[in-house]
Amino acid sequence: MVKKVLVVYYTQTGQLGEIVNSICTPLKAAGDVEVVFEILRPEKPFPFPWTSDQFFQTMPESVKGIPCELEPLTLKGDEHFDLIIAAWQPWYLSPSIPTHALFQHETIRKLMNGKPVITVIGSRNMWVMAQEVVKDYINSSNAKLVGNIILRDKAPNLLGVISIIRWMFQGKKDRYMKIVPPAGISDTDIQAAAAYGPIILEALKQGNYDRLQEKLVAQGAVDVMPEVVMIEKRGIVFFRLWAAFILRKGPFGSESRVVRVRMFKYYLLAVLYLVSPFASLLYEIIRPFRRKTIKKQISLYQSV
């Protein structure tokens, strides 16, 4: 009997599409699995490359869960799928605006009802707080999160900031000045993600996902960095305050809020280059005294 898998995602650069295609290669090759791809397209496309103001304008809506309008889906909501793979990217320690649109869309919610869901995240290096929001979306749709796969940019944090800014604002992804690595998730890691496919395929054919995440983690699917999680947990508190502050000046794209958006931009750059190094140093100091807590934290965020 043919198993049907829905893969739904949004991508600007094509990177997330490469990731899900790599993961799904063994599923498509199985012969008795039909993989349906639904690519989300906002009615008003987000630009790429971005201008600085456009990029930072997306922070309040990302943090507050305000979706964009999507073009009509090819799906109707009454189709049957044995498994749903929802791939997404974080913006500002939160699900991206199209990701909010995905999980709030009535058609997607109908399709997810009662179904097993695997999330696939393409991220720079901070995804934990955003995944907690996605878990709530999945639970509210009466679906069950059975697996989670993370692919991230493995560049050192501050060098990664430089590479991602060049890519987002100039469209340049290559190595820069010899010391700044290429932006984004490496081609090697994307290709290696195909190793998750057979694990998913086995669970799909058996109709049993009880040990799926355990096996994915053993394959290296979730790399939790406690020092980054510590920064995320504090950062999202301030992002929520900034988001509310900016939204009081108007909705997405409003000229009336540009000044506050730019204030946030300079705040964020200061935090990245002045505060985060001290936070990392603090983590190294306290780590020997919090080994049990850190171990529990890693186990928690590797789980579903």
What pLDDT shows up at residue 56? 97
In the chain, what are the domain boundaries? 3-223, 227-302
Which ranges constitute the DSSP H helices of the chain?
15-29, 52-57, 59-64, 97-104, 106-112, 128-140, 157-170, 187-192, 196-206, 212-218, 226-247, 258-270, 276-286, 291-302
Can you give 90-109 as a three-state secondary structure string? Answer: EECCEECHHHHHHHHCHHHH
Q: pTM, whole model, 2 decimals?
A: 0.94
pLDDT at 194: 98
pLDDT value at position 67?
A: 98
> What sign does the dihedral 247-249-255-258 (CA atoms) show?
negative
Query: What per-residue confidence (pLDDT) applies to 71?
Result: 98
pLDDT for 93-145, tens place per residue?
999 999 999 999 999 999 999 999 999 999 999 999 999 999 999 999 999 99
**Distance between CA atoms of 261 and 47, rounded to whole angstroms?**
17
Cα–Cα distance measured from residue 302 to residue 296, given in angstroms and rounded to the nearest whole number: 10
| 72: exposed, middle or buried (Cβ count in 10 Å: 0-12, 13-18, 19+) | exposed
State the pLDDT at residue 294: 85
Which residues of the chain register pLDDT less than 50? none
pLDDT of residue 142: 98
Q: What are phi and psi of 8, to 5 degrees?
A: -125, 135
Residues in the chain: 304
**pLDDT confidence of residue 143:** 98
pLDDT given for residue 156 in this prediction: 87
Give the architecture-level CATH label for domain 3-223: 3-Layer(aba) Sandwich (3.40)
Pairing of β 144-152 and β 116-123: parallel
